[in-house]
Amino acid sequence: MINIAKRTIITFAVAIISLSIASAASNNSSDLLKYIPADSPYVFASTEPLPAKLADKLEPTVDEILQAYQNILRQIVAEQSVKMSSEEGDEEKLDQFHGLMEEILGLMSLEGIRGAGIERDSAFAFYGNGLLPVLRLELSDSDLFDAAIARIEEKAGQVLLIGEATGATYKYAEVENFKLIIATLRDQAVITAVPASFDEAQVALAIGAKTPRKNLKKSKALAAIDREYGFSGYLTGFIDTQRIAGMFAGNTSAEDDAFFAAVGEKPPELGDVCAAEVMEMAGIAPRIVIGYSNLSADRIESAMIVELREDLARGLATVPAEVPGLGKDAGGLMSLGFGFDVMAIRDFYEARLDAMEADPYECAKFAHLQEGVAKGREALNQPVPPVVYSFRGFVANIADIQGMDMSTNTPPQSIDASILIAVENAESLLMMAAMLDPQIAALSLVPDGKPVKLELAQLAEFADSAFAALSADALSVSLGEGAESNSADMLVAESVRPAPFMSMNMDSARYYSMIGDAMSQKPADEDENEMPEAMREAMKEIMILSGSLYQRMSVDVQFTARGIEVNGVMELSD
């Protein structure tokens, strides 16, 4: 067993190296894929570099963010030093701790990372050797990487053990029933964990001293994902849920069995019926893929797709509903909205109940799901007001907020915002509200799209002016500057096609600045364990720097024939 200092070596080595992969990869990096088993349950790999102009633009801010993280870590080191100095006889350990942390802190910069042999065009892959993670990355100079690890060992006063697998040497530390491994092979660094019971051949495959016969380069699975979804090679990844489910349904390899033996939590044995139904359940969403489709100095586009079984994807694709303005960036601080057809949701749910009745689960582990069918039928048979099925969604645009303090839960003093509620026969919804509130009845709103001034005391607390407007299928309310025109404009805003289920847009710099301000404030009920001011300021700086990279960010969730697609766009600052 290794001591705490050795564990610290491995933990920080992994953390610092992982920070280096913000930009990758060199031109011949597809060779990295030949070390990845074709049946790996998860893979995230970069085989193409960031565009040079984009990397040049991001690097200065990334370096500042690393410096801010250094400041946080220095605060933690200072606190730990105070504790250690209060214990007699720990002067040597304290000096050793300071030396180790200074070495780690030296790596927390782009200069330090480059000095460890990791360039901005270094390719990387993070993948599963079974369930166990492997980080593999290219090195510009393996001697520089080895020297960085050696310095950490020296400052920690501990030396990692040396192992050998089919002629390749590696360093490792023993932690319970595992070996934590750091190896440099063929100008690549490999960081992984393997069960201590692994034989030489299994370790050789894990670190890449020997390549798997069936590997990801031969299968071209990542290339197929890139073609299907229009991703670039900068970063493509997937999670194979069926492969993972198979490990728990009895479909294990020798490496999987060794892993479960090492953790001492072998999955319970399943009968044929339960095993088949576990795999059927995994087939609902057999794979999750991610990637970047567009990378430029002005814009970054990415996507995550939860691939669904064909019938489920087809059913969900009917759920989104068109809502005026949903999916459009209105500018301002933030906008958020949903659009859905309640009747389509009901039909989708009813179809699932029908399917479970036609082919019920027989495995006892899924009995609670099968019992839920009767409850689901009862819920569907409950009377529902017609207005519920008429509801189509909403859009909220927040142009500006003044006077809000999230750290003290202080509400805003003023808001410039608009909200639209989409509902069929919106006039009937307003009539229902009028029966409950005489003030609403007095507004005399008609579905002609013309703004009507709202004289409501509740709204006067947040805005100098408030207007509402009504159309045949929507009601809008706007507060603050430009409220009159905004209330009318929302009703006639373009509906995006195909309609997203959810859409969000934000001014990232302003949003992160607000979060940073909240994090930096000293809570009113501060106690002795409260975060030091220096750490709060460092966290605020990280938020502000992160927000400064982007002008605006947007996320759309769409239900398509392929499944659930989450598409993100980041417009970069000048």
Q: What is the pLDDT along the chain (574 residues), one digit of tens a residue?
A: 334 444 434 444 444 444 444 443 444 466 889 999 999 999 999 988 888 899 899 889 988 988 888 888 888 877 777 777 766 556 777 777 777 778 788 888 888 888 888 888 888 999 999 889 999 999 989 999 999 988 888 887 778 899 999 889 999 988 888 899 999 998 899 999 999 889 899 999 999 998 999 999 999 999 999 999 999 888 999 999 999 999 888 888 888 888 888 887 788 888 899 999 999 999 999 999 999 999 999 999 999 999 999 999 999 999 999 999 999 998 889 999 999 999 999 999 999 999 999 999 999 988 999 989 999 999 999 888 888 889 999 999 999 888 666 556 666 777 889 999 999 988 877 777 777 666 666 677 888 999 998 876 666 667 778 898 999 999 999 998 888 999 999 999 998 889 999 999 999 888 888 888 777 776 655 555 566 777 788 888 888 888 888 889 999 999 999 999 999 999 998 8
Q: How far is CA 283 from the centre of its chain?
A: 23
Burial 61-93 (b: 16+ CB within 10 A, else e): ebbbbbbbbbbbbbbebeeeeeeeeeeeeeeee
Query: Alpha-carbon distance 124 to 22, whole Å?
Result: 10
Give the closest residue to 509 by CA, choosing from 535, 479, 544, 477.
544
| 3-class SS of residue 84 | helix
pTM here is 0.86
**DSSP output for 166-218:** TTEEEEEEEETTEEEEEEEETTEEEEEEEETT--HHHHHHHHTSS--SSBHHH
User: Could you tell me whether strands 236-240 and 178-185 are parallel, antiparallel, or unpaired per DSSP bridges?
Assistant: unpaired
| 3-class SS of residue 123 | coil
Beta strands in 298-413 (DSSP E): 299-307, 334-339, 391-402
User: Could you tell me whether strands 299-307 and 563-572 are parallel, antiparallel, or unpaired per DSSP bridges?
Assistant: antiparallel
User: Could you tell me whether strands 132-138 and 188-195 are parallel, antiparallel, or unpaired per DSSP bridges?
Assistant: antiparallel
Give the closest residue to 445 by CA, choosing from 471, 482, 479, 480.
471
